[in-house]
Amino acid sequence: MSAPAARPRGRTRYVVAALACGGAVIAATVLMFALSGNVQYFRTVSEAVTSQDDGRFKLMGAVVPGSRRRTDDVVTFELTDGKKTVTVRHSGDTPALFEDGAPVVCEGRWGRDEAFASDRIMIKHGEEYTPPKVDAGGQGG
Amino acid sequence: MNRLNIEEPTDTPGQLLAPGVRHAIGAVALVALAALALLGLWGAPPDDRQGEAMRLLYLHVPSAWLAYLAFFVTAVASVLFLWRRTRSMVWDRVAGASAELGVIFTGLTLVVGALWGRPIWGVWWAWDARLVTTAVLFFLYLGYLSLRRIPGEPEAAGKRNAIAALIAFVDVPIVHFSVEWWRTLHQKATVFNPELSAKIEGVQALTLWIAVIAFTLLYLYLLDRRYRLAVLEEGQAERELEQAIRERTGDAVAGVTP
Can you give the CATH number for the domain in which A55 is found?
2.40.50.140
| Reported confidence tier of residue A26, pLDDT bands at 50, 70, 90 | confident
Find the domain containing A109 and state its range: 42-123
**Is residue A1 included in any domain, yes or no?**
no
Please tell me whether residues A60 and A79 are part of one structural domain. yes
A114 & A48 share domain:
yes
Q: Does A59 map to a domain?
A: yes
Q: Per the structure, how many domains does chain A have?
A: 2
pLDDT value at position B186?
96
**Do A103 and A50 share a domain, yes or no?**
yes
3-state DSSP assignment of residue B118: helix
Residues A81 and A52 occupy one common structural domain? yes
ipTM: 0.80
What's the pTM value of the predicted model, to 2 decimals?
0.85
Which residues from chain A sit within 8 angstroms of residue B120, using beta carbons? Answer: 95, 97, 123, 125
Nearest CA in chain B to A94: B122
Q: Who's near B25: CB < 8 A, 6+ residues apart?
A: B17, B217, B220, B221, B224
Residue A128 included in any domain: no
Answer yes or no: are the C-beta atoms of B118 and B100 closer than 8 Å: no
Tell me which residue in B48, B126, B203 faces A132 most closely, judged by beta carbons. Answer: B48
Cβ–Cβ below 8 Å for B140 and A97: no
Q: State pLDDT tens for residues A81-122.
A: 999 999 999 999 899 999 999 999 999 999 988 899 999 999
Asked if B199 has any chain A CB less than 8 Å from its own CB, the reply is yes
| Domain boundaries defined on chain B | 19-256
Q: What's the sign of the alpha-carbon dihedral A63, A65, A71, A73? A: positive
Residues 6+ away with beta carbon under 8 Å from A48: A57, A59, A86, A116
Per-residue pLDDT of chain B (258 residues; tens, 9 = 90+): 444 444 555 556 788 999 999 999 999 999 999 999 999 999 999 999 999 999 999 999 999 999 999 999 999 999 999 999 999 999 999 999 999 999 999 999 999 999 999 999 999 999 999 999 999 999 999 999 999 999 889 999 999 999 999 999 999 999 999 999 899 999 999 998 888 889 999 999 999 999 999 999 999 999 999 999 999 998 888 899 899 999 888 766 555 554
Could you tell me the fold of the domain covering B19-256?
Four Helix Bundle (Hemerythrin (Met), subunit A) (1.20.120)
In a domain, A75, yes or no: yes
- With respect to residue A135, please indicate whether it lies within any of the assigned structural domains: no
User: What is the spatial distance between Cα B37 and Cα B207, in angstroms, rounded to a whole number?
Assistant: 9
Q: Is B235 left (phi over 0), alpha (psi -120 to 50) or beta?
A: alpha
